[in-house]
Amino acid sequence: MKPLTLANVESELSYAYLHAIASHAQCGCKVTSRHEDNAGVDAQLVGWGPFAGGGYRTEVDIKIQLKATIAPPATVGDHFSYCFRGIAQYNDLRSDAVATPRILVVLFLPKAYEEWITHSEEALSLHRCAYWVSLRGAPISVNDTAQTVYIPKAQRFDSTGLVSLMTQLSRNDIPMYQEILT
């Protein structure tokens, strides 16, 4: 058996990150099938309320497209610039014709493989973190292979942010993409 490529390791760490955050936020997390992956969905999260400050929904779910990168994120104001490869998946994420909301979660890892994870008897640490963005309502891409998207720095994908997102969804408040002018 061949060892995983570094790109495969990045991908697997994004799943580990997602599972850890979802578990800490007391949300269910399941990896999707190959068919859903082809439609730009890597995982589905479910949250159960009641949600403090939430709406009438006591069970909400969201579909996730995961990405991981060692490329340092470029900063544009209060956003990270990210080159999203895969226009078909971009279009799936920007669609408002889907019943279950979808978000893009990008894990930014350190450039050096040796810095991705450290562990000791006291802690297992995955270095850096992930951010999320809804691409619902984003503009049609004029490119054939990739599209630059802007991820708000305030939308860190952590357990507090995930609970807040689930609370927002319980009010039927679906996040939309906010285009920024560069």
Q: What is the mean pLDDT of each run of 10 residues along the chain (182 residues)?
A: 91 96 98 74 96 93 97 94 94 93 98 95 94 96 94 97 97 92 62
Domain ranges for the chain? 6-170
Compute the distance between CA of residue 166 and CA of residue 172 in angstroms, rounded to an integer: 10
Compute the distance between CA of residue 69 and CA of residue 148 in angstroms, rounded to an integer: 14
**Which pLDDT value is given to residue 124?**
92
Neighbouring residues of 132: CB distance < 8 A, sequence distance ≥ 6: 103, 104, 105, 106, 151, 155, 157, 161, 165
Instruction: Tell me: cis bond preceding 50? Omega within 30 of 0 counts.
Output: yes
Compute the distance between CA of residue 138 and CA of residue 10 in angstroms, rounded to an integer: 26
**Which pLDDT value is given to residue 2?**
86
Tokens standing for residue 15: 């799943």
What topology does CATH give the domain 6-170? Answer: Trna Endonuclease; Chain: A, domain 1 (3.40.1350)
CA 107 to chain centre: 8
> Which residue reads 């490329």 in tokens?
71
Question: Dihedral, CA atoms, 81, 72, 90, 180, nearest 10 degrees?
Answer: -10
Neighbouring residues of 13: CB distance < 8 A, sequence distance ≥ 6: 68, 107, 109, 116, 117, 126
Compute the distance between CA of residue 70 and CA of residue 88 in angstroms, rounded to an integer: 23
